[in-house]
Amino acid sequence: MSIEEKKTGAQPEGQDGQQMALDDERRVKVLSPGAMVAKRFFRNKLAMAGVIILVIMFIFSFIGGAISPYGESQIFEDYEEVVSNFAGATINTDYRYTEAYSGSLPTTARTSMILAVNNGETTYEAGENTYQLTEIGEHCYVISGTATVAQADRLAGSYVLSSDAIEVSDDLTAAFNDAMNSGATTFTYDGVEYTITGSGRTYYISAMQELGFATQEIIEADGLSYEAKKEALLALLNGETSFSADGTNYTVELDDETAIIFSGSEEVGAISPYSIQGIESGTVISTELRAQIIEAIANDTSSFTVTDAEGNEVEYEVVRENTRYTIRTASSTRLIQTYLAPSTSHWLGTDGAGMDILTRLMYGGRISLLIGFVVVILETIIGVVLGGIAGYFGKWVDMLVMRIVDIFYCIPTWPILIILGAVMDSYQIGARVRIYFMMIVLAVLGWPFIARIVRGQILSLREQEFMVAAEATGISVSRRIFRHLVPNVIPQLIVQCTMALGGIILTESTMSFLGIGVKFPYASWGNIISSVSNVFVMTNYWYCWIPAGFCILLTVLGFNFVGDGLRDAFDPKMKR
């Protein structure tokens, strides 16, 4: 206002040339406390830098994840041709046993048979049984022995026979009953001598019979009976090209060192001196492939090609290692693209699980920021309610609430968090539910500092004139606290909550780093860093953990800058 205006009493003019009164709305706007706070805040360069950082981080986390072409837990794979060991082959020098019926040659009988062969013996004892060896060819023996072949149970004055080893006929049953009636312990039927043991209602019938045969040849014929396998072996030993068993005629064709068994035109088995087994459990080696392997070994061929069931030609390599042959083949193997360096496809590379790090950072920012805001809101609600009640009522109410606050301050936060994390692990709490639990626990453990601030402010405000006037008008207690006192505390709460957000993000990151926070498949900046589990990964794959640490640094720094700016804007006297 100029000197002339003061002398004449003229009112100052606005920018539009009109005169303004003291109660003019435009003057009220200029003098608004909120506008003054905002003006001081926006003039603070550090505060504006914090706002810019937070805006960038929110855009990066929430918008970036939405437009990212990849999923949060999408694993990137590739298929490569890898030469791997497929099977192993050796010239067999161990005896292989074929049983006449299941369990006819127990382990003790097999072990003792080898000792008898080495000692040139034709009979040997194993357990309580006696066994006989009949040589039918080089390293080929038929094993016979006394074994229980049937069981007799007394029923209605006569005995009923049952057996899995021999055929029980009416004549055999009659011969057994005759022997029992005459008190004999042995009887002969169909040229075989049987021995009777037992007492009471159950008796056992034993006989010397063929139990199986042992040979160093490998017989691959799962569909053939014991008789057919034995006859095939005899035909091979005798140089015969055909044999009969079980009413069926078979032919034998010798291919190198392998005898192929045919039933008509169908190949039903093979006999060879080679033991061929797949490297991996469950590998099925077809008869054709087995024959090709044996042919390659016999001809000292280093590679061969076989057409598989789908009509594709598969090439195999044969590598000799002393007496063992390794069959190798190139196969298309699925490989997870772990620790890929930054590229145009993956700007920050991939992590140890083969997931895009940039996308994980975006989704991890959502989780970290969401946890921070939800925890602060919950802390503020609990703290404002309890702090407001304690500050307004005072006396024993204030004493009770403050003692509760002291108790929560005494709780060891990190041990409690570690114990709760272990409990959730033991109960296998889901990853999403785990996040909700973590929010609640952090809020319950963090509300006391809000309650102290609200209580201290209300203690000083409740004695002021506006509160005396509110009480005189008969306003309810809840309205006095939450409509008149708490709004006057909000500026300090905003500052404290903004500063606390950074601390909560750091706490969540630390929990996830320790393995008690956010779990896979959800990402957070903390568990992204925790995936770097050893020094080698830390030093060689910096892009796996430095970007996540940088995001935490920027976000916490941004919240701190904004908190400092709000503090200076609300209370300029605190600005240094």
If you average pLDDT over every residue of the chain, what do you get? 83
Work out the burial of residue 97: count CB atoms within 10 Å of its CB; fewer than 13 is exposed, 13-18 middle, 19 or more buried: middle
* Residue 57: per-residue pLDDT: 93
* Residue 29: per-residue pLDDT: 47
Tokens standing for 323? 């007496």
Tokens standing for 380? 């503020």
Q: At what angle do helices 33-43 and 45-58 cross, to 10 degrees?
A: 80
The neighbour count for residue 369, using CB atoms within 10 Å, is 23
pLDDT tens-digit map of 19-44: 555 555 554 445 466 777 788 888 88
Please state the domain count of the chain: 2
Of 215, 239, 262, at which residue does a domain stop?
215
Do the beta carbons of residue 193 and residue 207 sit within 8 Å?
A: yes
316, part of any domain = no
| 161 and 57 in a common domain | no
| 145 and 55 in a common domain | no
170, part of any domain = yes
CATH of the domain at 536: 1.10.3720.10
| 129 and 63 in a common domain | no
Please indicate, yes or no, whether the overall pTM of this predicted structure exceeds 0.85.
no
Structure confidence at residue 48 as a pLDDT band (50, 70, 90):
very high
521, part of any domain = yes
Task: Flag whether pLDDT at 131 surpasses 90.
Answer: no
| 119 and 51 in a common domain | no
Share of the chain above pLDDT 90, in %: 18
Q: Residue 249 has what DSSP assignment?
A: E
Task: Flag whether pLDDT at 100 surpasses 80.
Answer: yes
Q: Is 477 helix (H, G, I), strand (E, B) or coil?
A: helix
* Residue 58: per-residue pLDDT: 93
Task: Flag whether pLDDT at 240 surpasses 90.
Answer: no
Of 215, 246, 275, at which residue does a domain stop?
215
Do the beta carbons of residue 492 and residue 397 sit within 8 Å?
A: no
**Residue 534 lies in domain:** 45-72+349-574
Amino acid letter at 552?
A: I
| 430 and 482 in a common domain | yes
526, part of any domain = yes
* Residue 300: per-residue pLDDT: 83
| 570 and 504 in a common domain | yes
445, part of any domain = yes
Radius of gyration of the chain from its Cα atoms, rounded to whole angstroms: 45
| 54 and 142 in a common domain | no
* Residue 28: per-residue pLDDT: 47
pLDDT tens-digit map of 350-402: 998 899 999 999 999 999 999 999 999 999 999 988 988 888 888 888 899 99
| 444 and 559 in a common domain | yes
DSSP 187-248: EEETTEEEEEEEETTEEEEEEEEEEEEEESSEEE-TTS-HHHHHHHHHHHHHT-SEEEETTE
| 184 and 55 in a common domain | no
Nearest Cα residue to 400 out of 449, 451, 445: 451
502, part of any domain = yes
| 459 and 387 in a common domain | yes
277, part of any domain = no
Task: Flag whether pLDDT at 63 surpasses 90.
Answer: yes
| 182 and 65 in a common domain | no
Tokens standing for 173? 């049953």
Helices (H), 343-485: 357-393, 395-410, 413-426, 431-446, 448-461, 465-472, 477-479
C-alpha distances out from residue 15 to 21, 34, 92, Å:
14, 22, 108
For residues 309 and 151, the model is more confident at 151
Structure confidence at residue 17 as a pLDDT band (50, 70, 90):
low
| 152 and 59 in a common domain | no
Of 192, 215, 238, at which residue does a domain stop?
215
The pLDDT of 285-291, averaged and rounded, is 76
125, part of any domain = yes
